Amino acid sequence: METTDLCFTPATELAAMIRSRTLSPVEIMDAVLARIEILNPRLNAYLTLDAERAREQAKAAEAAVMRGETLKPLHGLPVSIKDLEPSAGLRCTYGSKFFEHNIADFDGMVTARVKAAGGIVFGKTNTSHYGYKDMCDNLIGPPCRNPWKLERTSGASSGGAAAAVVAGLGPLAHGSDGAGSIRIPAALCGVFGLKPSFGRVPNWPNADIWAARSHNGPITRTVADAALLLGVMAGPDPRDPTSIDSPPEDYLAAVARPLEALRGLRVAWSVDFGYAPVDPEVRRLTAAAAERFQSFGCEVEAVNPDWDNPREPASVMWYVSFAARLGERYDQRPEWFEPSLAEMIEAGRRISGVQHGQAQLARTVFYEQARRFFERYDLLLTPQMPLGAWSVERGPSTIEGKPTPSMFDRLNFTFPFNQTGQPAASVPCGFTSEGLPVALQIVGRWHADRLVLQAAAACEQAAPWAQQRPPV
């Protein structure tokens, strides 16, 4: 197999070749690291690499295969970790100047589970400052760029992870999602991203556990690869008291025959929730993808959910969280904070305790509205992002002719499901006239991760996307 083709081969296929001894973990690691050496200076997808140790671990994985040892699910596969999670012995910056030279001395929960499953953690992917926004730049170094058009953003905050996967810089990537941070870059880069149910994958360490908002999940080229990684990441952990206290399902087996699970389902399609601006090209492409569910045997209905716009309470809680967590450091070194993050912190400081409490009450009301809506439907389909990737330097000023002064103006389809904790997946569904990826969002009922993966797998079977490669 050509080296480039190897870098774009799905992880499930790589795992099968490792087990059959037709491919060595050393060959995979060498191919990925060589491609990173060529492309990362242009993309800035990785903040840190551990090439020497990764090659040593790949050799050890190869030796285990040759000895006939029982192999674990990720044996010998390269896995990247977003730089908001510590991985022992690797630099962990959190996208912050305060931690530019910080070396982690322990493994976060996802890193530990990946290693226990035989995966090789070889690098930390780029992210915005503590993941505060949907563009992947920070004050440590150059921004992460979109492999489809280098002058465009990769999205964020898991921007490095999505850019790496679509450019062939590693088959399996960890991401995290507090307001869309898995789904945003997955959509803008044209890969698959899953925000599992809240608590499906424990979140540790986490300074703000009781915010009940952030989800760990996979970013991959294929749905099966995401199912493979989710099966490793999922499962309870007492260090996260909000984690779901049940073992993970066999997600990989579930996506093998997805259509059987979809026949007869009630599926809602909402192009704009009745209030969200959406680019006309995105409307057309996502509507066509949603209509395809009829061929899967589903009953598809165009709807306006008629629920409250959760933007105001969500932004209040977002600003207060960053003011509480980062305010002291902001006072110490304000020059180490991006202007937009500084504005969020200042906004958070102006919000009273009563206003924050009212936002939490509004979140409860919104959850109940969404829960009642999903009594009538099994799945909800929406556009994922309302436009293709915008400039790497600044956010778009308008969408569909409407002003978009705030980050939350372009996240109308993401943060609502962090507020409810429901599983949601970003599925590639075409390209704009500029050649930029567009994605459909699939949202499931409470804890319906399996069904969301099966719906995504059906989309992939009907209109595959993994063969598409960016021009870098």
Catalytically annotated residues = 82, 157, 181
Q: Which helix (H) or strand (E) holds 121?
A: strand 120-125
Report the distance separating Cα 332 and Cα 102, nearest Å. 18
Beta-bridge partner residues of 443: 380, 424
CA 99 to chain centre: 23
Q: Which helix (H) or strand (E) holds 231?
A: helix 223-233
Q: Give the dihedral sign, CA 383/387/388/392.
A: negative
Strands 266-269, 192-195: pairing is: unpaired
Report DSSP letters for 312-359, one per residue. Answer: HHHHHHHHHHHHHHHHHHHHH-GGGS-HHHHHHHHHHHTS-HHHHHHH
Burial class (CB in 10 A: 0-12, 13-18, 19+), 151: exposed
Q: Give the dihedral sign, CA 43/86/452/321.
A: negative
Report the distance separating Cα 240 and Cα 280, nearest Å. 42
Total residue length of the chain: 472
Torsion angles phi and psi, residue 268, rounded to 5: -95, 140
Beta-bridge partner residues of 91: 103
Whether the Cβ atoms of residue 216 and residue 242 lie closer than 8 Å to each other: no
Q: State both tokens at 219.
A: 């970013």
Beta-bridge partner residues of 430: 438
For residue 113, CA distances in Å to 108, 117, 120 come to 9, 6, 11
Report DSSP letters for 248-310, one per residue. Answer: PP-HHHHTTSTHHHHTT-EEEE-SSTTT----HHHHHHHHHHHHGGGTTT-EEEE-------T
